[in-house]
Amino acid sequence: MSLLKRAEQSLASCFEGAVGKAAPPRLVEAMRHAVFSGGARIRPQLTLSVAIACGDDQPQLSDAAASALELMHCASLVHDDMPAFDDADIRRGRPTVHKAFGEPLALLTGDALIVMAYQVLLNAGHAAPDRLLALMQNMTSGVGLPDGIVAGQAWECEPRADLGRYQRAKTGALFVASTCAGALASGREAQPWYALGACLGEAYQVADDIRDVMGLSADLGKPTGQDCLHTRPSAASELGLGGALDYFQDLIQKAVDSVPACTCRGMLQHLVRNESERLVPSAAYSAYRMPGVQPAAALSA
Amino acid sequence: MSLLKRAEQSLASCFEGAVGKAAPPRLVEAMRHAVFSGGARIRPQLTLSVAIACGDDQPQLSDAAASALELMHCASLVHDDMPAFDDADIRRGRPTVHKAFGEPLALLTGDALIVMAYQVLLNAGHAAPDRLLALMQNMTSGVGLPDGIVAGQAWECEPRADLGRYQRAKTGALFVASTCAGALASGREAQPWYALGACLGEAYQVADDIRDVMGLSADLGKPTGQDCLHTRPSAASELGLGGALDYFQDLIQKAVDSVPACTCRGMLQHLVRNESERLVPSAAYSAYRMPGVQPAAALSA
């Protein structure tokens, strides 16, 4: 089974196990809309691939850890899309949750998904309470204060924010939690997997900035020009587009190099390179180096 | 030390322990505004009093359990006050979080407080992992699907909702979690404490409906007439004001009777009766029975 298929199936199964019977039907429908909408599932795939590299002796726990982190990611997207932040109408080519279900249910959908993420871990069984508690701590660090994704989003509301810190929190923290979770679910130390998550997470955020400036975000089903619109910190505005593209490539290389020696090293490096190509296609990169050619035009040519 | 003082001190200490250094300062300020604003702390007092009744052999765990549940309660208030729901300007006589800090930070404050509640439990130490996991499951049930407070709020967005189920979820679930947490933190069974939380929680919600209709909500620092405005299910509209008052008294009596035999039975019953008087003062109750007298006028006379 491919990593993506395993991630998808685990998520569906964990969701059903946690949603319970007799919950408010429209809330459940809105949660499904938020979660099952063709996401790339890069975070749970990272968790699962690291778990496999670490032996994956409790696959049910790896599945739960991967799914819980994806639920947190989906929760953050629902709240980020709301009018108070991005005011986005479209996500992954479909109406955002508040557009499809209204703001009250969108607010509750995010809340419910955060709580469900913990429920999914609790449902994984208490055969290894130490691993379970470590996974909960790991997920909580990735989401909460002082450096998780909620803090990252909050830096946008501060008069001053350090770009590196902002990006590490806004995106990096959940990538770090995703790689570390794979190790923790398999009873291993998380530390050797920290750099992979940190580099990939920062690369992801820089790619987002690049795509925003290059007008490529529509390919990911999102509106473009959002960073400038909201005057949030951006690598593209701080380093210039060329600098941001170089920085992105450096981060991807660092991520590839950071994968610890293990039987799955090739698979993990392949996953990172695939994701890099999906985020910033090399055609767009080359187009930028060709004077007079619009990157988006080059891509659609 | 009084229960209230212990609840306040624990909350302050758990908050500081979980907030971390270097979190976004305005987010932290907004979270403090939400949490330290003169709340009655009835839920953590319930947890602590049941913990004491059950031996309280791990007071640090009882404190964490009580504080975590209060953080969840504060999170729900922040999100409920937002324009998507009650659009309330005032809470406990002060500006609501979105009024004081804006909608983006209010949204994030709720999210961050939910995650902090789990962090507070995780920070309580892993000396008793079984108790810790039981407390997490208990809190998660009180907040999430299918019957926690998020589900309760979501029933307001459904075309049809059963009043009992709605009230049990919207308020009862966190009261049940609060009484049960006291037992679980002390390594005891939660079940004997379920009824106390359930009756008190339902009484609390009915009292809210009564206060809303009688125009007493201003005494609690909240706007009045909200239920009718938002056409949400209400005991006062379903049973009539007199019926709702009788039902409230019944629930309080049931709560008092449900307290299991223990050395602290008197203290717990006293706490319930005090809370009953705070919620629906007997003067207001008597005034309703006097024809031609406005309850609110009788109270302020």
Which chain A residues are closer than 8 Å to B20 by Cβ?
A: 145-147
Answer whether residue A211 shows pLDDT above 70. Answer: yes
Other C-beta atoms closer than 10 Å to the C-beta of B65 total 38
CA distance A232 to chain B (A): 13
Cα-atom radius of gyration of chain B, to the nearest Å? 19
Within a domain: residue B295?
A: no
CA–CA distance, A184 with A50 (Å, rounded to integer) = 10
The residue type of B64 is A
Contact A157 B108 (CB under 8 A): yes
Q: Would you call the peptide bond into A146 cis, given omega within 30 degrees of 0 as the criterion?
A: yes
Which chain A residues are closer than 8 Å to B174 by Cβ?
A: none
CA distance A69 to chain B (A): 13
**CA distances for A224 relative to A76, A87, A236, B132, B220, angstroms:** 19, 12, 13, 45, 45
**Which residues make Cβ contacts (< 8 Å) with residue B186, sequence separation at least 6?**
B51, B54, B55, B56, B57, B58, B62
Contact B157 A122 (CB under 8 A): no
Q: What is the ipTM of this complex?
A: 0.91
The residue of B111, B114, B138, B139 whose CB has the most chain A CBs within 10 angstroms, and thus the best one to mutate to test that interface, is: B111
Nearest one of A137, A172, A132 to A152, comparing CA atoms: A172
The residue type of A122 is L
Question: How does DSSP classify residue A9?
Answer: H
Closest Cβ–Cβ partner in B20, B111, B144 for A110: B111
CA–CA distance, B209 with B294 (Å, rounded to integer) = 17
Within a domain: residue A221?
A: no
Chain B residue with CA closest to A30: the answer is: B154
Per-residue pLDDT of chain B (301 residues; tens, 9 = 90+): 899 999 999 999 999 999 988 899 999 999 999 999 989 999 999 999 999 999 999 999 999 999 999 999 999 999 999 999 999 999 999 999 999 999 999 999 999 999 999 999 999 978 899 999 999 999 999 999 999 999 999 998 888 888 778 888 988 999 999 999 999 999 999 999 999 999 999 899 889 888 888 876 555 444 444 443 355 667 777 788 888 999 999 999 999 999 999 888 998 999 899 999 999 988 877 877 776 555 555 444 3
Which helix (H) or strand (E) is A126 found in, with range? Answer: none
Q: For A244-266, how does the pLDDT look when each residue is reduced to its tens digit (9 = 90+)?
A: 999 999 999 999 999 999 888 99
CB A200 within 8 A of CB A194: no
pLDDT of residue A300: 43
Within a domain: residue A301?
A: no
Six token digits for residue B151: 């589900």
The residue of A150, A160, A174, A232 whose CB has the most chain B CBs within 10 angstroms, and thus the best one to mutate to test that interface, is: A150
Closest Cβ–Cβ partner in A22, A126, A161 for B133: A126
**CA distances for A78 relative to B177, B185, B263, angstroms:** 27, 34, 49
CA–CA distance, B34 with A5 (Å, rounded to integer) = 42
Nearest one of B110, B179, B168 to A106, comparing CA atoms: B110
**CA distances for A73 relative to A77, A117, A194, B49, B70, angstroms:** 6, 10, 18, 38, 25
Q: For A56-109, how does the pLDDT look when each residue is reduced to its tens digit (9 = 90+)?
A: 999 999 999 999 999 999 999 999 999 999 999 999 999 999 999 999 999 999
CB B47 within 8 A of CB B66: yes
Which helix (H) or strand (E) is B147 found in, with range? Answer: none
Within a domain: residue A263?
A: no
Question: How does DSSP classify residue B260?
Answer: P
CB B171 within 8 A of CB B152: yes
**More confident site: B57 or A202:** B57
Answer whether residue A293 shows pLDDT above 80. Answer: no
Contact B114 A111 (CB under 8 A): yes
Which chain B residues are closer than 8 Å to A137 by Cβ?
A: 122
Other C-beta atoms closer than 10 Å to the C-beta of B92 total 13
Nearest one of B273, B292, B209, B277 to B244, comparing CA atoms: B209
Six token digits for residue B176: 């049940």
Within a domain: residue B285?
A: no
Closest Cβ–Cβ partner in A26, A107, A119 for B84: A107
Provide the number of structural domains found in chain A. 1
pLDDT of residue B299: 44
pLDDT of residue B286: 80
Which chain A residues are closer than 8 Å to B110 by Cβ?
A: 111
Within a domain: residue B301?
A: no
Which chain A residues are closer than 8 Å to B102 by Cβ?
A: 84, 157
Which chain A residues are closer than 8 Å to B158 by Cβ?
A: 24-26
Structural domain including B258 reads 3-275
Residue with tokens 């309470």: A129
**Which stretch, A159-163, A197-201, B293-297, has highest mean pLDDT?**
A197-201
The pTM assigned to this predicted structure is: 0.91
CA distance B110 to chain A (A): 8
CB B89 within 8 A of CB B39: no
Within a domain: residue B96?
A: yes
pLDDT of residue B301: 34
Contact A133 B130 (CB under 8 A): no
pLDDT of residue A224: 46
Six token digits for residue B265: 């039975």
**CA distances for B290 relative to A133, A146, B214, B216, B283, angstroms:** 58, 56, 14, 17, 11
CATH number reported for the structural domain that contains residue B234 in this entry: 1.10.600.10
CA distance B6 to chain A (A): 25
Which helix (H) or strand (E) is B296 found in, with range? Answer: helix B295-300
Closest Cβ–Cβ partner in A84, A105, A132 for B107: A84
Within a domain: residue A233?
A: no
Which chain A residues are closer than 8 Å to B114 by Cβ?
A: 111, 114-115
Size of interface A-B (CB pairs under 8 A): 177
CB B14 within 8 A of CB B125: no
Chain A residue with CA closest to B76: the answer is: A111
Answer whether residue A34 shows pLDDT above 90. Answer: yes
Which chain A residues are closer than 8 Å to B130 by Cβ?
A: 126, 129
